[in-house]
Chains A and B, each alone.
Chain A
Amino acid sequence: MASTRRLLLAAALWAVSGLWAPVAARADVPVVAAASDLQFAIEEIAAAFAAETGQQVRLSLGSTGNFARQIREGAPFEIFMAADEAFIADLHAEGFTRDAGDLYAIGRLVIIAPHGGALAPDAELEALAALLAEGQIRRFAIANPEHAPYGMRAREALMARGLWEALQPALVLGENVSQAAQFALSGNAEGGIVAWSLALAPQVAARGHHALIPETWHTPLRQRMALLQGAGPVAEAFYAYLQAPAAREILARYGFTIPAE
């Protein structure tokens, strides 16, 4: 029985010993909340920033609407890169951002489909309309239009093209645009409407092809970023870097239009 208790004690000690593992450095490595369409571009920019300055940032990717909610709940982000400037404006009005922020990119929508699938993407969504009429579209992915800007714009574009109603039974909603792309190319859907910046990444291009949807079909994806209250010097440096030529060049490579400011 003595050994029983010793085992119990050992188990407890083993559990407790795990607690004092060093905590990852917190305060000096700011967290950047970035919209999911930046998934690949922002990793490249952060790596370039680290190589150039020796300073690190931590990246958290998700839907703009979710981040806006989390920032209101007090999430400790220092920079917020939204996919839609309306969210920055609201946060600014409520005093969560340092200022009105800066427009950093204008995004575009693409229709994307897996290689070898039934859907051959075209800009005017002719193939989608044809397949839909034949009942060949079983699943079609977009980001959740309730809180993801790319989902809202995808809905606008589909409405402009008159396909929104017909697509309803087939729609699958990603929590953010990156998940929508993953759904669209998983092989379980005929395709989807996602961000051009994702379609251009090699990992994505390897799985599917895409066509650019006319930008007149939806309100522009004016992407604005802002420093949040409590941003430190590293966050400020990264924010400045995001507007420097090196970062702009990377954004342009991922299909973003860089606003002239």
Chain B
Amino acid sequence: MKKLSLPLKRVRREAWISIFSVVFVISLWEAVVDLGWVNSTFFPSPSTIARATVDSLASGELTGHISITMARMFAGFFAGAASGLVIGLAMGWSKEVRAFLDPIVSVTYPLPKIALLPLIILLVGIGEGPVIMIVALGAFFPVLVNCVAGVASIEPIYFDVARNYGSGKLKTFARVVLPGSLPMALAGLRLALGMSLLLTVVVEMSIATKGLGAMLWLSWQTFRIEKIYVAIVIIAILGLLLNWLLGLAGKRLAPWREAR
């Protein structure tokens, strides 16, 4: 018990510092605007933005944008993450598959996926297709790369144990490769989710008429500064929420990881 209470106390102290930092920045911003040190048309105060956000949420105008953005993001994320998981594990496990796919991955991985947008529109036409494809591509690579690294990070001793106890290929995959690479795969999924949100918004800004990204860009073009901030706030909150949810899911899926 004594051992536990010490880090717990420290964690609580650090949490207070984090809360203070948020409160501090928001109050500073509020003060600077209220004192008239900056132009409140371009830099509305946090309270104004909060009010505008609540208003647009209440009017139902935002819900449509949010659900469209989320639907696109999740469609792309699941498609990309699932294929990244499968191909990544295959590459991690089989030297042959890795040798075959490594050069292709190395060339396409560093490419900014958004640069492919015109080509993809040429190929599949305008509509939901290109949005989801770009997002899927963005989610695919972090998952893939982390899965490969995850399998590589499994200590050889665990494969020895499996072999010594007569474990077949499938059993070894299910009981060693999959759980052994899971912590890193989860880290990849987290990166991929962030990337998916980012790319959804970016693509929406350039080619969509609905969704948070489209709303943001339209507000800019019609010079409704407040709404730009509303969109940014909503995107930030979504990002935070998604990350937190995935963290929870990770704890559920990999309970053996030591609590840090």
User: Is chain B a partner of chain A in the same complex?
Assistant: no
Residues in chain B within 8 A of chain A (CB atoms): none
Residues in chain A within 8 A of chain B (CB atoms): none
